[in-house]
Structure 1
């Protein structure tokens, strides 16, 4: 079953425009920059689509995030690493509670505080909380008849 990704970026006018996945991948792996995004933080919609050969694809996941580009137009590796670190820290308290299963555990309390701080930082720096109209616009653009194609 084919699975593919689509990316949309909010442009300066507020419209969502397609960011081809190959172009994104090249900027992410350091092989080709996107000069228009150099030194910028953009609001990104990333979607995963799944479909059967010849069938209508289904949008299975949609995420709204902020994506940072370095001065050359590559995805900022340091910002990405920071985001991943914060994501891991933000769920550390859940792992502790599952492993220890004791209310009042001081280690878990300290982890909860660090996890809360990480979640706050993650939301502040990397979360894009779109307005309902922006969510509707993204879903409209992502619907199968709007040009979704599997990667080969």
Structure 2
């Protein structure tokens, strides 16, 4: 069984186009820029695909995010670090035990407020809430088998 990643980016016309993972990896590790993304925030669909063959592969994870590029066309390292910090901060409240009746929560209320604020900031800066047609377009490009096996739309009956 193989596991691989695929990326789609929204181009200036609003269409989703493939971005080879090797190109994104080089822009992320600082070895080769993507000049056409220089200074831009790009909406990205990131997919993890699992399967034996591409014909039998399925999308197992799908994320719609915003990715920032610096003026040279490399992935903006400061923005990436901020995203990671916000992700870690958004989990701060998971360190608290579940609330029990009569149990003192101590610092947990503070951690909960910080986590909620971090999640809100993460969504504002790095989240992309795709429209239904954008989500469908991404799935059809990344996992056409899922659309073929989806239940058909209900047909109205006449009485």
TM-score, normalization by structure 1: 0.89
* Higher relative contact order (Cα pairs below 8 Å, separated by 6+ residues): 1
Moved over 6 A (4+): none
Does residue 129 in structure 1 map to residue 125 in structure 2? Answer: no
Query: Which residue number in structure 2 is paired with residue 3 of structure 1?
Result: 3
Unaligned ranges ≥5, structure 1: 146-152
Cα contact 1:56–1:144 (8 A) shared by 2: no
Cα contact 1:7–1:44 (8 A) shared by 2: yes
- Label 1:104 to 1:137 Cα distance change in 2 as closer, same or farther (>3 A): farther
Query: Which residue number in structure 1 is paired with residue 70 of structure 2?
Result: 70
**CA–CA distance in structure 2, aligned partners of residues 3 and 24 of structure 1:** 17
CA RMSD of aligned residues (A): 1.8
Cα contact 1:57–1:144 (8 A) shared by 2: no
**CA–CA distance in structure 1, aligned partners of residues 17 and 34 of structure 2:** 14
- Label 1:53 to 1:71 Cα distance change in 2 as closer, same or farther (>3 A): same
Once the two structures are TM-superposed, the CA of residue 53 in structure 1 deviates from its matched residue by 4.4
CA displacement 1:75-97 (0-9 Å, x = unmatched): 01110111011001001101223
Residues 81-92 of structure 1: matches in 2 within 5 Å? 81-92=81-92
**CA–CA distance in structure 2, aligned partners of residues 54 and 135 of structure 1:** 21
Once the two structures are TM-superposed, the CA of residue 13 in structure 1 deviates from its matched residue by 0.6
CA displacement 1:28-81 (0-9 Å, x = unmatched): 010000000000000000001111147511111100000000010000111011
CA displacement 1:94-129 (0-9 Å, x = unmatched): 12235x867541300000111111011000000000
Q: SS at the partner of 1:12?
A: coil
Residues 1-152 of structure 1: matches in 2 within 5 Å? 1-53=1-53, 56-97=56-97, 103-143=103-143
Once the two structures are TM-superposed, the CA of residue 144 in structure 1 deviates from its matched residue by 5.3
TM-score, normalization by structure 2: 0.85
The alignment of Structure 1 onto Structure 2 pairs a total of residues equal to: 144
Q: Which structure: larger Rg?
A: 2
Once the two structures are TM-superposed, the CA of residue 143 in structure 1 deviates from its matched residue by 2.1
